[in-house]
Amino acid sequence: MKVLLLGATDVSRCVLKACLKSRGIEIFVYDPYIEELDDANSKFKHSLPSLHRLKNIEFLTEIPFDLEPDLVIDCLPDDSTQGQFLEEVDGVLNSHPVYITTSKLYSVSELSRMIEQPEKMIGMQFVLPFDEIEFVEIVRGMRTSQATIDVTTDFVQHLSKKYYIVKDVPGYVLNRMLLVVINEAVSILHEGLATPQQVDETLRHGLGMKKGALQLADEIGLNRVVKMANAMASGLNNSRYQPHYLLLDMVNSGLTGKEMSSGFYSYLADILDFPYLST
């Protein structure tokens, strides 16, 4: 199986690592920006225990005309260029592969308009890191065919992950529940009821979550959490998804989570140094 990953991003790195755990997958990572590819290549090598496994990976700044992937996985950042990027890639490929988008902001149905065969567009939603989680949502758009669903479910099962199929609505199931929990955890923190560790330990030990909401928000990226929340509040016309203003303040201050080494937790020190906020 040939898999083409679009974008040298954290998402593509996690998907790549998951693919490397399964046999028979040849992986191509495409990003037109050589700096992004070089950075991704370095991170991949640093994060993979066995360098020989990189033999199955090829990094591309251009898509060869004879490349015929079975799957194209959209790992691109959620911004205004995403649709155009997909359209350009689809114009190069001749094999009419199945497209799997991981976008949390744009609907499957909206992005399907950017490819020649819209019935081959489908969505896949998950919480990072993808290579460690056991479950994904498969999102069926208005024009997604059953054949596309079959190819996608086969791929997900090949990666040893469980799944269910959901409708193409803002937030789907997982993110709608997750963002409510994150927003409430931030509200509790802001009211001074508990520290970040106490909030997360309550969710881990009290509700059995593997990770607390604030730790998970840091790993997702607080800037991404805010984008997702705003998109859901607008798409569902429901103000309960509006991000808490503490989240907005943190993002505006550059405290966006693990990738910037500081969010609700500090990743430059062993001990958390987050202010205990009180009313």
Q: Among residues 149, 167, 185, which one ends one of the domains? A: 167
Claim to verify: residue 179 and residue 66 sit in the same structural domain = no
Give a yes or no: residue 265 inside a domain: no
- Quick one: residue 171, left, alpha or beta (phi over 0 = left, psi -120 to 50 = alpha)? left
209-225 pLDDT, tens per residue?
888 999 999 988 899 89
For each of the chain's 279 residues, which pLDDT tens digit applies? 899 999 888 888 888 888 888 888 889 989 887 666 666 566 665 655 554 455 678 888 888 888 899 999 999 888 778 889 999 999 999 889 999 999 888 899 999 999 999 999 999 988 777 777 789 999 999 999 999 999 999 999 999 999 999 999 888 888 889 999 999 999 999 998 999 999 999 999 999 988 899 999 998 889 989 988 998 898 889 998 999 999 999 999 899 988 888 889 887 654 445 554 443
Amino acid at 139: V
Q: Rounded to an integer, what distance in angstroms lies between the CA atom of residue 184 and that of residue 225? A: 13
Alpha carbon distances (Å) from 212 to 20, 204, 242: 28, 6, 20
Residues contacting residue 76 through CB under 8 Å, at least 6 positions apart:
6, 7, 9, 82, 85, 86, 103
Q: Rounded to an integer, what distance in angstroms lies between the CA atom of residue 67 and that of residue 97? A: 11
Claim to verify: residue 44 and residue 95 sit in the same structural domain = yes
In this prediction, residue 199 carries a pLDDT of 94
Claim to verify: residue 67 and residue 134 sit in the same structural domain = yes
Q: Rounded to an integer, what distance in angstroms lies between the CA atom of residue 35 and that of residue 11? A: 17
Give a yes or no: residue 278 inside a domain: no
Enclosing domain of residue 73: 2-167
Claim to verify: residue 46 and residue 7 sit in the same structural domain = yes
3-state helix, strand, coil in the chain (%, to 5): 45, 15, 40
Alpha helices per DSSP H over the chain? 10-20, 34-47, 82-92, 108-112, 146-158, 174-190, 196-201, 207, 213-220, 222-235, 245-252
Give a yes or no: residue 279 inside a domain: no
Contact 59, 4 (CB under 8 A): no
Residue 74: enclosing H or E segment and its boundaries? strand 71-74
Claim to verify: residue 72 and residue 48 sit in the same structural domain = yes
Claim to verify: residue 154 and residue 188 sit in the same structural domain = no
Q: Among residues 145, 167, 189, which one ends one of the domains? A: 167
| CB contact burial 52-78 (16+ within 10 A = b; e otherwise) | eebebbebbeebeeebebebbbbbbee
